[in-house]
A and B are shown apart, each in its own frame.
Chain A
């Protein structure tokens, strides 16, 4: 069922704060741990202890450097997983209907029982969000932990994606981006949340919060801060005497 739904009841997704992400890879590994044990086939690791280890990961953290003309260079850690696009090109290309976007919440999933492992959906995704498992030969991708977020066997506070639950810096937020009043939507509004590669026309649900302006500490106006006394004729000692008197 590879036609995209006209609309979905909610748009569940992630808001990733590039101002806060320290690049610790916690989300990468908790995702690996949860998803190797849960939804669908395990995430294998080819040549795990060998010369060329290569595993399946649904979430990876890149590090970019941004050089600027008039300010010091910045480093930005950049976690990336499926953006659960409204206009998901990976879904419509699927020949078998294995790829689909859920009507309820917009989560893009792969029905692994129907996946023939052609890889076309991975080609169609501009973001590199899909990886074919090297052992199981089915397409793996972020499920937004669909088996956690509604899971009645989990305490309510744990019904969020594993990556969000584990993020030590709180750089990952989960919620309904269709609801303008949801905390995630408000965060996006406040902090200028952005789409990745908008020119690709995918209309991603996940948003990225840009780094706040860096290296803006103004050249100080010490005079305005400075207790005038130390500079007076009596010098530091005079100031000290008067300051002690005032205590």
Chain B
């Protein structure tokens, strides 16, 4: 009696599938949005999309709950209660835009720098930066300075690109993959897909991370390194490889500045009369221009000149890293590893790189005109992100990692690390930073860039910074992404000057996008003697009722990512692949059901009202109707616009006149455009003539720009020389020692600046974002918040035992700056001196339309409360920034703490801020989501 119910095995899945780009994190995967009855029914990955090939992470699939979130703002808001209270009234868009115009117009006409415009996880930075430039304020940046500028800047300066948006491991061919530090959020799906490929063929994955979670859990080998010591560990690997002679000399001679001679007197390159760096020819034993035909560059010996011996870069490098200071025995204890582990990993790198080399039979021609019949790969690839970068020694550590990859010849070779167009792009090909402003005038150039020497700093004659965040000043000379995390404290202190209006977009600065969060909230609400706020005006644009909303005077509500146009542009933070150029769009797959507008269109409207150049036509009408119109018609250079695909008549690739049908073509093509690099141009990109020509044809550059990798980074030496007293641009005296030490032109390691706190604060505290969450968004998502709704403090087995913790206990973490109290959980797969918790979960009571008793508020805390933007006072009368001295990157992984068991009866986490009123109605009850009826 087998009778089964009859099932409909082929139900209609949806009425319509709309293909757009995800915005649940910065990964920018392609998504298929299934629509039923005009409503979003289901979201899955787009199989054709280059970023995710059909897969989608938890965040992406939960996008539907983000789109339907009760925390969505509903209309423009004007503050009526005191700042921070969250008391607002809804106003019309006309009133909101008029208010903003009335505030901003006088600033533009008198002192444009009094507008500080900072955007957070903005994916339209080339647009917001362009707007700020037109406004004329030097004070614009996004949140890279808080996030990972060390990684980006070290990569650009060393080799013309870095990880994530700049490049990727050759997942198809790599045989050994090393993953350094916390790296689970960028770039999320491609790394998981890559790891999956490695696992499918049994390639070895080595995780070097204090915490064995996530990707490190699947690592075949795990090194539970002590935070902040990665640079030392890497340089010890370099020591071992040099000692064993396991380096790719041919690669170093051809593609790096290893043979450049260094002037023994200045530390700068020895140059000829045409300013061309010189190398020693092994045959003639003479110094010759590096690009002389048929030269045989020496790496070992120098030349005598003017009574001094000028040695090649490689010789300096070998002398430094072969020194016993870098021997495994000398560094192991500091790194929390054993000498055997270092040796084993060095040997494995050497074995795979040189005994399992890959040869592709693909002829190619280098920029010198030399034809190569094959491509030789060293199939060792590496990846790192914020884990090694968010330290005060992060820039040099990232440099060290790039050095390691270059020494074994794995960059841009098969099986190694590969750039994604428009990278590689050396620092010289990037702009310099600009800050010259004048009333009523646009800025003199793009805000951010790569200084090549002290002459490019953004400082006044008297040395004071031109930017409110002090980016590109002596305190942070190479702060290529700006220093968003310093804006509020500097503006509050009126240092280097006071501002009038703080304009933030998608930057939760009153919460998880600031260090020292509690005090930042006080700064935002602090008043002068005259009763006015110290930061007089705050405009904030966000789609959700985040913590920051309560601190603004005017709220411009944004749409969700399914209700707007966007472009993922090559001018911005591209989504290319190592073998292809690609960009993509978002488009409104549904119309907003609230009185909200896409921020970029609002910005164009404001620009028109303010009469900003490029946004208003001669007859006074707006240049661009809205952001979609800008995306289609804006040209950055002639023929180069925000989108590279379907230009001109629709066939244009990279270059071409604006095409009015461009967005339609993107939609028809699945929301993206992709253009594959010819086979012979897919490797050795910085030196491959075919790639260089292709890149010019696509508008990535205007002429071929081959370059050599900077093992020795001459711009750093220029800053160092200034600190030593040479040249017209001199740092303030108190910074000289630090600059001399840190701006070493060869990678080095020095202890994190928090090291002196070690006696009183013996433990390291880390924070990492759950893979299922992105910044603040995940924890108000009905589905995701159930997975990670609180932030227990994971403590190592050693700490657990030492403090006698048992299940259900709470602990207080104290740093030199503050304390948090959280429930504890034991974790043995953890560096013994380290504790950690999840980032991006804790919420302030009343924010994000959550119940004030939500576990995000009562069982959770941000470690941001423990981290100050300044180091503790040292008694020298100065307060030093808690950041990398080269880039100014916030050093939040330097955090040191001590731990105590909390008294019994603790049931609510600390800090427990007073609730803020919610500007949107709090939902109640149960959720049953289904579009079908």
Contact = CB atoms under 8 A, between A and B. Distances in A.
Interface of A: 1, 3, 5, 17, 19-26, 28-30, 32-34, 36-38, 42, 44-51, 53-55, 57, 63, 65, 67, 72-77, 100, 102-103, 109, 111, 113-114, 134-135, 146-147, 150-154, 157-158, 162, 165-171, 211-222, 225-227, 229-230, 236-237, 239-241, 243-244, 247
Given A135-B928, A216-B221, A222 B244 contact: yes
B311 to A, nearest CB: 11
| The 7 residue pairs across chains A and B that have the minimum distance between CB atoms | A220-B347, A168-B192, A170-B196, A48-B927, A227-B245, A42-B930, A169-B196
Given A1-B1, A166-B45, A147 B849 contact: no
A240 B300 contact: yes
B783 interface: yes
Contact of B345 (A158, A166, A217): A217
B782 A45 contact: yes
B697 to A, nearest CB: 34
B54 A165 contact: yes
Contacts of B785: 53
Contacts of A67: 828
A81 to B, nearest CB: 15
At the interface, is chain A mostly helix, strand, loop or mixed? loop
B250 interface: yes
Contacts of B923: 48-49
A240 B212 CA distance: 39
Given A42-B928, A65-B827, A146 B249 contact: no
Contacts, number: 307
B904 interface: no
Interface string B306-342: 0000000000001000100000000000000000110
Given A26-B58, A50-B924, A147-B8, A32 B783 contact: yes
Contact of B2 (A1, A151, A213): A1
Interface string B40-66: 011111010000101111111110100
A54 B782 CA distance: 10
B494 interface: no
User: In which size bucket is the chain B interface?
Assistant: 35 or more
A153 B350 CA distance: 52
B7 A33 contact: no
Contacts of B854: 49-51
Contacts of B5: 100, 111, 113-114
A202 to B, nearest CB: 21
A169 B343 CA distance: 30
Interface stretch (B199-207, B626-634, B721-729): B199-207
B771 A25 contact: yes
Interface in B767-796: 771-772, 780, 782-787, 789
A241 B829 contact: no
Contacts of A166: 44-45, 54-57, 61
Given A51-B855, A53-B782, A240-B300, A214 B772 contact: no
A222 B199 contact: no
B300 to A, nearest CB: 4
A89 B115 CA distance: 68
A243 B351 CA distance: 18
Interface string B1-40: 1111101111111000000000000000000000010000
A74 B300 contact: no
Contacts of B97: none
B193 interface: yes
Contacts of A55: 782-783, 786, 927
A153 B64 CA distance: 22
Contacts of A25: 57-58, 771-772, 787
Interface string B208-236: 00001111111111101000000000000
B344 A219 contact: yes
A137 B64 CA distance: 24
A168 to B, nearest CB: 4
Given A20-B195, A146-B7, A240 B299 contact: yes
A46 B129 CA distance: 43
B344 A220 contact: yes
Contacts of A134: 926
Contacts of B70: 49
5 contacts: A30-B58, A33-B61, A37-B42, A48-B782, A215-B221
Contact of A22 (B2, B204, B218, B351): B218
A38 B930 CA distance: 8
Contacts of B772: 24-25, 28-29
B249 A244 contact: yes
B64 A33 contact: yes
Contact of B202 (A73, A168, A212, A225): A212
Interface in B232-277: 240, 242-246, 249-250, 253
A44 B244 contact: no
B836 to A, nearest CB: 13
Contacts of A3: 1-2
Contacts of A50: 850-851, 853-854, 924-925
A215 B192 contact: no
A242 B62 CA distance: 60
Contacts of A28: 58, 772, 787
B348 interface: yes
Contact of B58 (A24, A111, A230, A236): A24
Residue with the highest number of chain B CB atoms closer than 10 Å, among A17, A147, A171, A240: A240
Contacts of A169: 192-193, 195-196, 199, 218
Given A51-B851, A243-B245, A212 B220 contact: yes
A36 B588 CA distance: 24
Contacts of B244: 222, 225-227, 230
A135 B250 CA distance: 68
B9 A150 contact: yes
B931 interface: yes
Contacts of B829: 65, 72-75
A63 B931 CA distance: 33
Given A19-B199, A218-B344, A222-B343, A49 B849 contact: yes
A30 B855 contact: no
